[in-house]
Chains A and B, each alone.
Chain A
C-alpha cells in the first residue's frame, strides 16, 4: 500500500512537472540563412476564405508572416468559396468566387469543415489535407527542409491589346516519379480594396473592415481546375519537361498590373504538389 502511494506520487510529480512553461519572448527571431542555392523547394499555400468570414483576416496575417519568414519560398493563393464567400447586401456584393475555387472547395470539402483553413501543397497529414492556420508554419517549415524535387522556369508574354497570355514552363526533374505529373497555372490578383468581416480587434476594426486589402485572390486557371498532363508515365532524375499554355484574360475589371501567375506541378495519383513558381503577369 505504502509502496503504491509512493509510485502514484512519483508518477503524479512526473506528469505535473512535465510542463514547459515558456518565458518571454514567445516568438522567435528570424534566423533563416540567406538562400544562395539556385534551386530551392517552394511551397503552395492555399488559404480558403470568404469576405463574410470574420475569423479569416487573422489567417491572412499568418500567411503573410510566413511569406516574410520564407521570402520567395511560399506561393499564396486565397480561395474565396463556400458559405462565407456568398454575396450579401449591401457591403458584400463583390463576387470573389471563381469556378476553379468552387471546384477545389467542393473536392477537398473545406467549406464543410470551416473557414479559415488551408492546404499545404495539398499534402495529406493524418488522413486530412485540411490544415488550420496555426499549423501552417510547422507544416511549411517541415516541407522547406526537404530538397527540391523539380525546378520550374517560366517565360511568358502578355498581349495588352488582346489580354492573351502565352506561357512556357520548363521543368527540370530532380527526383524519380512513378506516377503521372500534372501542371496547372492559376491566376491571382492582389490589392483589391473591399469590405471584409472581422471579429478580432487585434487585426482591424470590428465587425468589418471597409477598406480591407484582399491579396492573392484566385481568379481562375489557365488550364482548368486540375491542369494538364505534363508527363503521363512518371519521370526520372534529369528529365526535362515542357508545357506551353495560352489563355485570354476575359474579365476587363481585373487589374492586370496586380495579377500573378502561379504555376505548379503535382503528382496525379497523390495530388501532392511537387514544386511551384510564381511570376507577375506584367
Chain B
C-alpha cells in the first residue's frame, strides 16, 4: 500500500511538473524551402539535370519553457541543389539540442553554435546560403561566477553533412568586463573588456607517411577598449603545428592578429583595421577542405558588396597567409549646403588591401611550402610582395526630393585569381560603376532601378547590368534584370543572363519565384575549388516564421 501511495505521489508530481512546464511553454519555428526547375542551355554551359527539379528544405522548431529550451532542425535535400555540396544528399535531423539555465549557469547538450572572441580559434555557425553548418555536437557550459566574469567550456564533434567529423573539439573561454565589477567603474568613460581562450582538437594519427600531431591546440588573447567616441579591438591567436591538406602538410605553427581602431561622432565615422594571418587554417579533420569542418573564422577585411557586378570578384580570407588592411570613412555632408542639398548627402570611402605574408625558405635545399617540413619562415611585420586583392570604392547616397533618392558607387578592384580561386588566369583589374535610384510613387508603391557597368581588360572583359524593381508594399514586389557580357571577344560568348521574378508576402510567410540564367563561377577555398555551375530555370523560395 505504501508503494502504491509512493508511486501515485511520484506520478502526480511528474504530471504536475509537466503541466507547469507546458503551461509556460512556447513553440516557435521557421521554415524554408528552395526548389529549382532546371532547363538545359548549352550556350551558358547549363547541363541537363537528370532530376529536373532539385530542392533544399529546412524546418527549425524551438521549444522554450522557463529555464528549459530544446530545438530540432529537419533538413531535406532531394536532391541537393546545384552549387551546394552533393554530400548533403538525403534528409534527416542533423541539429537537436536541449538547454537548461539556472541563475548564472547554463548547460547545453546536443548541437550548438559557439564563438570565442572574434572567432580566430573557434566559431561554429550556420550560413545556409553557402552550405556551411559546422555546429558542434556535445556539451557546452556557460557560467558567470561573478559580476563581469563570463566563462564558457565546450566539447564536441562537428557536423559533417548528416554525420559527424572524426575530430573532437575542446575549448575554454573566459572574458572579463571590468566595468561590471562595481558602480564606480560602470560609470567610467573608459570601458575595458579582456578575454582569453584555449581550443584544441584531437584526431588520431594513422598516417603511414607523416608523424602527425594528434592533439593540436591554440590559445588567444583579446581586448576591447572604449573611451568616449574611440574604440580599439584586438585579438591575437597562436596555434601549434597542424599539418593539413590546406597548408600542404607543413609543420610551422600558426598565428593570427586582428586589430581595429574606430572613431565615430554624429555625421562622421572612421575605422582602421589590420590583420595578419599566418598558417591559421584550423579544422577538426586535417584532410578536410572547402567549407567543411572549419573550427575557426578568419574575417575578411574587405567591404562586402551586394550589387551584382561589384560582387563579381569577391575576396575570401587566405588561411595560409595574408597581411590585410582596411580603412573606412563615413561622412555626412550637412543639409542645406551646396553638396548636401535639402536632405544632406552621405559619403562612404573605403579602401582595403590584402597582400601575401613574407615567406622565406627554411634552407637552400627545401622548397617553399614543401610537405613534411616547417614550410617557410616569416617576418611578423614584413608584407609580402604579391598583391592578393585591392578595393578602393566610394559610395554617395543622396535624397533628391521626398520621392527620389539615389546611391552611386564607383570601385576599382584588383583581384588575384591565382590566389583567390587557385587558378592560373592571373590578376584582373576592373572599374565598376553603379547607380541605384529609387522613386517613391506613393507611400506604398516604389520603383527602384539599378544600372551597373564593369570594365576590365582581363577575364571575360566588359559587362553591363540593368535591373528594375517595383514594390507594392507590404505584399508584392516584381523585378526584371539582365547582365550582358557585351565585351567578350568571342561572339558566341556575348551572352545575356536575364532574370525576372516576383514575390508575395502574407503575414510572416513569403514566396518568391524567379526565372532566368545564372553564370558559371568557381569558389575556391584552401586550394580546392568548388564549381558553381551555370544554371537556367525557375527558382521558388518559400519562407515562413511562426
Which residues in window 8-63 of A have CB below 8 A to B?
A: 8, 11-12, 15-22, 25-28, 32, 53-55, 58
Nearest A residue (CB) for B249: A134
B206 interface neighbour in A18, A32, A84, A141, Cβ under 8 Å: A141
Which residues in window 256-311 of B have CB below 8 A to A?
A: 285-290
Question: Secondary structure at chain B's binding surface: helix, strand, loop or mixed?
Answer: loop
Q: In the assembly, what is the distance between CA of A21 and CA of B151, in Å?
A: 27
The proximity string for B residues 133-162 relative to A, scoring 1 for CB distances below 8 Å and 0 otherwise, is 000000000010110000101000000111
* CB of A109 closer than 8 Å to a CB of B: yes
* CB of A82 closer than 8 Å to a CB of B: yes
A199 interface neighbour in B215, B240, B371, B418, Cβ under 8 Å: B418
B87 interface neighbour in A12, A65, A127, Cβ under 8 Å: A127
The proximity string for A residues 102-143 relative to B, scoring 1 for CB distances below 8 Å and 0 otherwise, is 000000010111111100000000111011111101101110
A206 interface neighbour in B207, B424, B529, Cβ under 8 Å: B424
Question: Do residues A27 and B372 form an inter-chain contact, with CB atoms below 8 A?
Answer: yes
* CB of A201 closer than 8 Å to a CB of B: yes
B200 interface neighbour in A16, A197, A207, Cβ under 8 Å: A16
* CB of B454 closer than 8 Å to a CB of A: no
* CB of B367 closer than 8 Å to a CB of A: yes
* CB of B245 closer than 8 Å to a CB of A: yes
Question: Do residues A112 and B162 form an inter-chain contact, with CB atoms below 8 A?
Answer: no
Q: In the assembly, what is the distance between CA of A111 and CA of B287, in Å?
A: 18
Q: In the assembly, what is the distance between CA of A1 and CA of B198, in Å?
A: 21
A26 interface neighbour in B171, B198, B373, Cβ under 8 Å: B373
Nearest B residue (CB) for A116: B528
The range of chain A's interface size is: 35 or more
Q: In the assembly, what is the distance between CA of A141 and CA of B249, in Å?
A: 18
Question: Do residues B244 and A134 form an inter-chain contact, with CB atoms below 8 A?
Answer: yes
The proximity string for B residues 397-420 relative to A, scoring 1 for CB distances below 8 Å and 0 otherwise, is 000000000000000000000100
Question: Do residues B86 and A109 form an inter-chain contact, with CB atoms below 8 A?
Answer: yes
Nearest B residue (CB) for A141: B208
* CB of B323 closer than 8 Å to a CB of A: no
Interface residues on chain B, number (Cβ under 8 Å):
71
Question: Do residues B290 and A113 form an inter-chain contact, with CB atoms below 8 A?
Answer: yes
Task: For A12, list chain B residues within 8 Å (CB).
Answer: 172, 198
Question: Do residues A127 and B161 form an inter-chain contact, with CB atoms below 8 A?
Answer: yes
* CB of B51 closer than 8 Å to a CB of A: no
Question: Do residues B217 and A15 form an inter-chain contact, with CB atoms below 8 A?
Answer: yes
Smallest CB–CB gap between A56 and chain B, Å?
Answer: 10
Nearest A residue (CB) for B529: A114
Question: Do residues A130 and B87 form an inter-chain contact, with CB atoms below 8 A?
Answer: yes
Question: Do residues B214 and A127 form an inter-chain contact, with CB atoms below 8 A?
Answer: no
Nearest A residue (CB) for B218: A19
Which residues in window 180-233 of A have CB below 8 A to B?
A: 197, 199-202, 206-208
Contacts A15-B171, A113-B85; is A201 near B208 (CB within 8 Å)? no
Task: For B217, list chain A residues within 8 Å (CB).
Answer: 15-19
Which residues in window 222-257 of B have CB below 8 A to A?
A: 240-241, 243-245, 248-249, 251
A197 interface neighbour in B145, B166, B213, B424, Cβ under 8 Å: B424
Task: For A207, list chain B residues within 8 Å (CB).
Answer: 418, 424
* CB of A4 closer than 8 Å to a CB of B: yes
Question: Do residues B174 and A16 form an inter-chain contact, with CB atoms below 8 A?
Answer: no
Question: Do residues B422 and A132 form an inter-chain contact, with CB atoms below 8 A?
Answer: no
* CB of B448 closer than 8 Å to a CB of A: no
Question: Do residues A22 and B174 form an inter-chain contact, with CB atoms below 8 A?
Answer: no
Contacts A8-B151, A126-B163; is A142 near B423 (CB within 8 Å)? no
A-B residue pair count with CB separations less than 8 angstroms:
173
Question: Do residues A26 and B372 form an inter-chain contact, with CB atoms below 8 A?
Answer: yes
Smallest CB–CB gap between A87 and chain B, Å?
Answer: 13
* CB of B354 closer than 8 Å to a CB of A: no
Q: In the assembly, what is the distance between CA of A69 and CA of B163, in Å?
A: 31
Question: Do residues A22 and B241 form an inter-chain contact, with CB atoms below 8 A?
Answer: yes
Question: Do residues B172 and A15 form an inter-chain contact, with CB atoms below 8 A?
Answer: yes
The proximity string for B residues 78-103 relative to A, scoring 1 for CB distances below 8 Å and 0 otherwise, is 00001001110100000000000000
Q: In the assembly, what is the distance between CA of A4 and CA of B210, in Å?
A: 40
* CB of A83 closer than 8 Å to a CB of B: yes
Q: In the assembly, what is the distance between CA of A83 and CA of B214, in Å?
A: 35
* CB of B351 closer than 8 Å to a CB of A: no
Question: Do residues A83 and B531 form an inter-chain contact, with CB atoms below 8 A?
Answer: yes
Task: For B164, list chain A residues within 8 Å (CB).
Answer: 126
Question: Do residues B161 and A19 form an inter-chain contact, with CB atoms below 8 A?
Answer: no
Smallest CB–CB gap between B538 and chain A, Å?
Answer: 21
* CB of B212 closer than 8 Å to a CB of A: yes
Task: For A133, list chain B residues within 8 Å (CB).
Answer: 245, 287
Which residues in window 156-184 of B have CB below 8 A to A?
A: 160-166, 170-172, 174
Q: In the assembly, what is the distance between CA of A214 and CA of B232, in Å?
A: 54
Question: Do residues B160 and A127 form an inter-chain contact, with CB atoms below 8 A?
Answer: yes
Contacts A1-B146, A26-B372; is A127 near B163 (CB within 8 Å)? yes
Task: For B418, list chain A residues within 8 Å (CB).
Answer: 199, 207
Q: In the assembly, what is the distance between CA of A84 and CA of B524, in Å?
A: 13
Question: Do residues B423 and A54 form an inter-chain contact, with CB atoms below 8 A?
Answer: yes
Nearest B residue (CB) for A19: B217
Contacts A55-B422, A138-B207; is A26 near B146 (CB within 8 Å)? no
9 further interface pairs, Cβ-Cβ under 8 Å (given A15-B171, A20-B215, A138-B207): A11-B153, A12-B172, A15-B198, A54-B424, A109-B87, A114-B528, A115-B529, A133-B245, A138-B205
17 residue pairs A–B, Cβ–Cβ below 8 Å: A11-B172, A19-B213, A26-B372, A27-B372, A28-B211, A53-B529, A66-B209, A109-B89, A113-B290, A115-B528, A117-B528, A126-B166, A128-B160, A134-B245, A137-B209, A199-B424, A200-B369
Give B contacts to A, CB under 8 Å. 82, 85-87, 89, 143, 145-146, 151, 153, 160-166, 170-172, 174, 198-200, 202, 205-217, 219, 240-241, 243-245, 248-249, 251, 285-290, 367-373, 418, 422-424, 522, 527-531, 533
Question: What 5 pairs across the A-B complex have the smallest Cβ distances?
Answer: A135-B287, A207-B424, A109-B86, A20-B213, A19-B217
